[in-house]
Amino acid sequence: MTYDIAIIGLGPAGIQAGIHAGRRKNKVIVFGKKEESALNYAHLENYFGFKEKIEGKELLEAGIEQLKRAGVDILEEDIIKIEPLERGFKLITEKEKEFIALALVLAMGVKRKKSFFKREKDFVGKGVSYCVDCDAWFYKGKKTLIIGDGSSAIWGAKFLTQFAEEVYFYFSKGEIPSEEKEALIQKGVKILASKPIEILGEREVEGIKLEDESIIKVDGIFIEQGARGPLELLAPLGIELDLETFSYVKVDKKMKTNVEGIFACGDITGPPLQVAKAVGEGCIAGLSASDYVSKIKKEI
Ligand SMILES: Cc1cc2nc3c(=O)[nH]c(=O)nc-3n(C[C@H](O)[C@H](O)[C@H](O)COP(=O)(O)OP(=O)(O)OC[C@H]3O[C@@H](n4cnc5c(N)ncnc54)[C@H](O)[C@@H]3O)c2cc1C
């Protein structure tokens, strides 16, 4: 499916970008999950225009309705891969659906990294990794465990089977959706019912202890919480990050990144992490992406 503009993120930044881009008569799609937006958990007292405290959840629902009225499509799935094309970008969702767009708006918010084990930090780079894309290669023919609570972990487990001899998987939040569970089993992934509680090893990861007291030998542990964050998703595109923390996407005043056709807005571009900033930047990103698409269409 082909779109003028694809927006990744169904939070205030992505929604506002979508409203402005949609009202400019572009064909627009927004990917993301409203429950994953930081706004879903906020109670706002510092946002313009409300006499009383407003629940973030209500603001999100209202924004999504506006988005629909602007003629924008919404797909509540995570993007797990972005590939640059000669003109535009190919996006692949967690359910392996493919989309093509001329311009991209990144509005994925920030990933609040949660550690899983007490001694996890001691093993970073010594068997513990947060990036399957980056490190799967090092585990060719080895035994690995992947832990996570969302689409990036499920995708990561499938991806790891192309390299590792053995892939164990622990889903840390509720049940794995049945369709996904079937796909994992078919790929030979061993799903753990008991929670991993301790990393074993002196200097490097040697194994893992589970809550039921059993021990599994593994060489590598991947921790992939939530959806794919900016660092994992954007690394192959050569998007420039801020030089101080390498955590935020660098943009100019038009919300352009260093890659032609890619714009960014909201928490992903750095502090202040506030709704007012997210919607302001979303507006600019939506309009800038629209201008870019008009220019490209004239050239075609
Ligand atoms: C507890 C709490 C209280 C807060 N209180 C306030 C407050 O009082 N005032 C204030 O102004 N701000 C507050 N904030 C901050 C505010 O919520 C954020 O600044 C704002 O939500 C940022 O908007 P955003 O659109 O950039 O990102 P988010 O709202 O975080 O939205 C990110 C979106 O990206 C999607 N996404 C991420 N990765 C992918 C992927 N790979 N594929 C597809 N979609 C993806 C998610 O599903 C989500 O829809 C609070 C935040 C929290 C957590």
pLDDT in tens, the chain (300 residues): 999 999 999 999 999 999 999 999 999 999 999 999 999 988 898 999 999 999 999 999 999 999 999 999 999 999 999 999 999 999 999 999 999 999 999 999 987 666 789 888 889 889 998 878 768 989 999 999 999 988 889 999 999 999 999 999 999 988 898 989 999 999 999 999 999 999 999 999 999 999 999 999 999 999 987 777 777 788 789 999 887 777 789 999 999 999 999 999 999 999 888 999 999 999 999 999 999 999 999 987
pLDDT at residue 149, as a whole number: 84
CB 248 within 8 Å of CB 241 = yes
pLDDT at residue 235, as a whole number: 79
Residue with tokens 């992939």: 224
Ligand 1 contact, 60 CB (< 6 A): no
| Type and span of the H or E element at 22 | helix 12-23
Centre of ligand 1 to C-alpha 162, Å, is 33
Superfamily of domain 120-224 in the CATH hierarchy: FAD/NAD(P)-binding domain (3.50.50.60)
Ligand 1 contact, 79 CB (< 6 A): yes
| Bond from prior residue into 272 cis (ω within 30 degrees of 0) | yes
Alpha carbon 70 to its chain's center: 24
Ligand 1 contact, 81 CB (< 6 A): no
Domain ranges of the chain: 2-111+229-299, 120-224
pLDDT at residue 124, as a whole number: 83
Establish whether domains 2-111+229-299 and 120-224 are of one fold. Answer: yes
Q: Round the average pLDDT of the chain to a whole number and report it.
A: 93
Centre of ligand 1 to C-alpha 4, Å, is 24
pLDDT tens digit sequence for 62-111: 999 999 999 999 999 999 999 999 999 999 999 999 999 999 999 999 87
pLDDT tens digit sequence for 178-204: 989 999 999 999 999 999 999 999 999
Helix/strand/coil percentages in the chain, nearest 5? 35, 25, 40
Q: Which of 39, 61, 64 for mutating ligand 1's site (highest number of atoms within 8 Å of CB)?
A: 39
pLDDT at residue 232, as a whole number: 75
For the domain made up of 2-111+229-299, the CATH class stated in words is: alpha beta
Ligand 1 contact, 33 CB (< 6 A): yes
Whole-model pTM: value is: 0.83
Q: Which atom of ligand 1 is nearest to the CA of 44?
A: 8
